Structure 1
Amino acid sequence: MNGPLARGGALRLAAVLLVALNLRGAIAAVGPVLPQLRADLDLSPAAAGLLTTLPVLCFAALAPAGAWLGRRVGTGTAVLAGMVAVALGTVLRVLGGPPLLFAGTFLVGAAMTVGNVLLPVVVKREFGPRAGTVTGLYTAALAAGAALTAAFTAPIAVLGGWEPALAVWAVLAVVAAVVWAGVFPRQVAAVVPGATAPPPAVPAAVWRSPVAWAVTAVLAMQSALYYAVTTWLPSLLVEDLALDLGTAAIAASAFQVLGIPGALVVPALLGRWRGQSGPAAVVALAWGVLPAGLLLWPAAWPVWVAVGGVAQGAGISLAFALVVLRSADDGVVRRLSGMSQLVGYGVGAVAPLAVGALYSATGGWAAPLALLVAVAVAHGAAGVVAGRPRVLG
């Protein structure tokens, strides 16, 4: 590759990674200041929980709309608009009471959905044979964005309160928007007369494909495991192992941070197999270690949390890579991405509620952990099917 092309490729990669940094960070920033925020705004526990659940519901419900927007105005323009909206929503949620807080949170979730759906399209189109490697890098950037905001929001809040601590992350979205606008040309689709409503975002042919459903099931099981563990791990460690809240918080942070190397492992694994069935089985096995270990040998929780942290990063990297690798072109990526995220994040939003209900019904963590082991098995089965080398055209 000659010099200018190499530089152009590096700039495109930088733009993709900057956008990815913003696709989870504003959500993860809420947790460290949630007690302060609840006290100031007099939010109930249920309302406070909605601040993290609402964006995940957006990921599911608005995924078809994100795919349609990419077709309507062009992928590059849609991603740029998404970054601007992330910045606006991040600021909006700190400007007043609960109505603006939830309106801004919804806007952030909707804007992130656009990036979730369309970034794989950009990767497929711009990086071709290196799409698997770039997918690993941008999913590592997702984890890095969440880790960054989780680590620094609380110290900023100590200096100036929770409002500036949340609002400051709009700067990262603005930087991503500026770089994206400079690297990718605006791609505005022609306006079709009479096109006032979005057509179905995912044609029936994709919904009828067993391969598409296997890919979708991988993201669904990954999301169920990730959001269930993210929600309930600290509570489990405090109640079952009598850890103090500080130690449980460190464990939860380690679980998130270890997703970064986990995401980077996947491209190396993909290069060693013709298909992706082998890596999918390895990722599912690593995922299963966390709930099985906590169930059978809870005293070794640092080991299980570490393995689970790597697994969650590898799992999301694999899920996004399968969307790209099973698609013949960027149009199929857009449709398959919309389908898998509609179903996958819908399952992810429900999983913490199901685990909590099972915990309440049984009075302990054994049944919820057994359920998560079963989900990890389903993750592996779906991954073996989705990893077979074939392409949706």
Structure 2
Amino acid sequence: MTPSAAARARSPVITATVFLVALSLRPALTAVGPVLPRIGVDEQLGEGVLGLLGTLPLLAFAAASPIVHRVSRRHGMERAIFISLLILAVSSVVRSYTGPAGLWIGTVLIGASIAVGNVLVPVVLKRDYAGHVSRATGVYTAFITGGAALASITAVPIADAVDWQLALAVWGGLAVLSALAWLPRTLSPEPLPPPVADDDAPLVSVWRQPMAWLVTGFMGLQSTSFYLLVTWLPSIEISTGVSERATGVHLFLFQGFGLIGGLSIPRLMRQPDNQRAGTITASLPILIALLGLLLAPGLSVVWAIVAGLGQGAALVAALTLISIRGRSHHETTQLSGMAQAVGYLLAATGPVLAGYLAEQTGGWDTTLIVFAGLSVVQLVIGVAAGRDTRAARVPRP
């Protein structure tokens, strides 16, 4: 039975468990930002070191992503995702409750386990929803954003009621539930089809394809601005007089409006001649929001909403480009691994650079100027990556 036939043979409920996995891929990361000042106080860490803590999952993404396709080909995508969810659950507890060393080790393991889902879920979507890739990607991103938003808004209340350790560890329970829902898929895992490109085109390593580098650049830059804001938006706002609890609400709005942005952009991305318009539409709000935080910080809640709309749309645009630029399941897996390895390595510099600049300058203005410049670069790369180079291969929505 081919993978597509296997997907049709599954019940819609089993097929849709991919979206529950998506729900588990961000809470362990986005719960950190609102309680980062408390972690710094308890562990006696400065802003630069806290920036490194926020960056470690991204470095783990970059290190793990290139080898995920090998693990997948050997054990199957379903089993790889199942094991990664279990590791994510255990790592969430390790990070919170095993002391200073566990804080760092658990953070690395969390990043490595999430990397598996980051790489493989877009391939699962392309396989199981072959006729609706952009729409399925939008729903997938909505679940990612929803989980991230929930973790952001509940982190401070849980930390107030108990401590920051529980505010982070509680999301391991969601990973366990996702693993249990995913378990039926592991009973009859389907291997990826042979690595033969569509239309009998000769295989060329994605590392040698200019379009693959453009997609990777777009993925990396949108991730850079996302993790800058997830990690430091509360601190940026606190420096302008916003309360800690309000920053948690603003981070929730950032994530929540990302859901709206993610669900809106597929209409542009699914049409080959509109993909440039999609990448531009996704990138502009990020630039506007960063400039707004710099020039009109009193409207930070507005800029959080605008940034959220852009980030949600940009993530869907990046993942859709990964899915439609790959000419086969095998190439899509390789492209996903490349885009997320190099892209997240680029993104990993974001929180550290932001924290360093804040320490050196005594404020956040320089950071916002630098990252606004990077958002301009994202816009330019998005225009190039949105070129319709394989229109004949774009799945119909």
Deviation at residue 93 of structure 1 after TM alignment: 2.5
State the alpha-carbon separation in 1 of the partners of residues 301 and 134 from structure 2. Answer: 30
Residues 278/188 of structure 1: CA separation in 2 closer, same or farther (3 Å cut):
closer
Aligned equivalent of 1:125, options 115, 124, 127: 127
Deviation at residue 228 of structure 1 after TM alignment: 2.1
In structure 2, the gaps of 5 or more residues are 1-6, 193-202
What are the equivalent positions in structure 2 for 1:211-230 lying under 5 Å apart? 211-230=211-230
State the alpha-carbon separation in 2 of the partners of residues 266 and 86 from structure 1. Answer: 30
Q: Number of residues paired by the alignment?
A: 376
1:12 aligns to 2:15 (yes or no): yes
Residue type of the alignment partner of 2:320: A
State the alpha-carbon separation in 2 of the partners of residues 281 and 87 from structure 1. Answer: 37
Q: Deviations over 1:310-350 (max 9, x none)?
A: 10111111111110011112111110011111111111110
Say whether the 8 Å CA contact 2:55–2:352 is kept in structure 1: no
Residue type of the alignment partner of 1:205: S
The residue number in structure 1 matching 2:323 is 324
State the alpha-carbon separation in 2 of the partners of residues 166 and 360 from structure 1. Answer: 26
Say whether the 8 Å CA contact 1:82–1:114 is kept in structure 2: yes
1:91 aligns to 2:90 (yes or no): no
Q: Secondary structure at the match of 1:328?
A: coil
Q: Secondary structure at the match of 2:11?
A: helix
Q: Secondary structure at the match of 1:128?
A: coil
Deviation at residue 167 of structure 1 after TM alignment: 2.9
1:56 aligns to 2:58 (yes or no): yes
The residue number in structure 2 matching 1:270 is 269
Say whether the 8 Å CA contact 1:326–1:389 is kept in structure 2: no
1:376 aligns to 2:382 (yes or no): no
More deviation in 322-331 or 33-42? 33-42
Aligned equivalent of 2:136, options 134, 137, 144: 134
Residues 99/242 of structure 1: CA separation in 2 closer, same or farther (3 Å cut):
closer
The residue number in structure 1 matching 2:196 is none
Say whether the 8 Å CA contact 1:327–1:391 is kept in structure 2: no
Residue type of the alignment partner of 1:234: P
State the alpha-carbon separation in 1 of the partners of residues 50 and 295 from structure 2. Answer: 33
Residues 154/293 of structure 1: CA separation in 2 closer, same or farther (3 Å cut):
closer
More deviation in 217-226 or 351-360? 351-360
Say whether the 8 Å CA contact 1:12–1:184 is kept in structure 2: no
Residues 237/43 of structure 1: CA separation in 2 closer, same or farther (3 Å cut):
closer
The residue number in structure 2 matching 1:194 is none
The residue number in structure 1 matching 2:251 is 252
The residue number in structure 2 matching 1:207 is 207
Aligned CA RMSD, in angstroms, stands at 2.9
Residue type of the alignment partner of 1:52: G
Residues 356/27 of structure 1: CA separation in 2 closer, same or farther (3 Å cut):
closer
More deviation in 111-120 or 62-71? 62-71
Deviation at residue 210 of structure 1 after TM alignment: 1.1
The residue number in structure 1 matching 2:278 is 279
The residue number in structure 1 matching 2:231 is 231
Say whether the 8 Å CA contact 1:57–1:349 is kept in structure 2: yes
More deviation in 365-374 or 78-87? 365-374
The residue number in structure 2 matching 1:308 is 307
The residue number in structure 2 matching 1:28 is 30
Say whether the 8 Å CA contact 2:276–2:386 is kept in structure 1: yes
Q: Secondary structure at the match of 2:291?
A: helix
Indicate the percent of aligned positions where both proteins have the same amino acid: 38
Residue type of the alignment partner of 1:225: S
State the alpha-carbon separation in 2 of the partners of residues 266 and 6 from structure 1. Answer: 30
Residues 56/300 of structure 1: CA separation in 2 closer, same or farther (3 Å cut):
same
Residues 67/282 of structure 1: CA separation in 2 closer, same or farther (3 Å cut):
same
Deviation at residue 17 of structure 1 after TM alignment: 1.0
The residue number in structure 2 matching 1:198 is none
Say whether the 8 Å CA contact 1:73–1:188 is kept in structure 2: no
The residue number in structure 2 matching 1:195 is none
State the alpha-carbon separation in 2 of the partners of residues 156 and 266 from structure 1. Answer: 33
Residue type of the alignment partner of 1:389: D
Q: Deviations over 1:161-181 (max 9, x none)?
A: 444443332221111111112
Deviation at residue 107 of structure 1 after TM alignment: 1.6
Say whether the 8 Å CA contact 1:77–1:186 is kept in structure 2: no
Q: Deviations over 1:294-317 (max 9, x none)?
A: 344444433332211110111111
Say whether the 8 Å CA contact 2:265–2:317 is kept in structure 1: yes
State the alpha-carbon separation in 2 of the partners of residues 171 and 362 from structure 1. Answer: 40
TM-score, structure 1 normalization: 0.85
1:108 aligns to 2:110 (yes or no): yes
Residues 233/391 of structure 1: CA separation in 2 closer, same or farther (3 Å cut):
same
State the alpha-carbon separation in 2 of the partners of residues 233 and 44 from structure 1. Answer: 16
Residues 264/184 of structure 1: CA separation in 2 closer, same or farther (3 Å cut):
farther
Residues 178/376 of structure 1: CA separation in 2 closer, same or farther (3 Å cut):
same
State the alpha-carbon separation in 2 of the partners of residues 153 and 244 from structure 1. Answer: 14
State the alpha-carbon separation in 2 of the partners of residues 215 and 174 from structure 1. Answer: 32
Q: Secondary structure at the match of 1:315?
A: helix
State the alpha-carbon separation in 1 of the partners of residues 354 and 33 from structure 2. Answer: 20
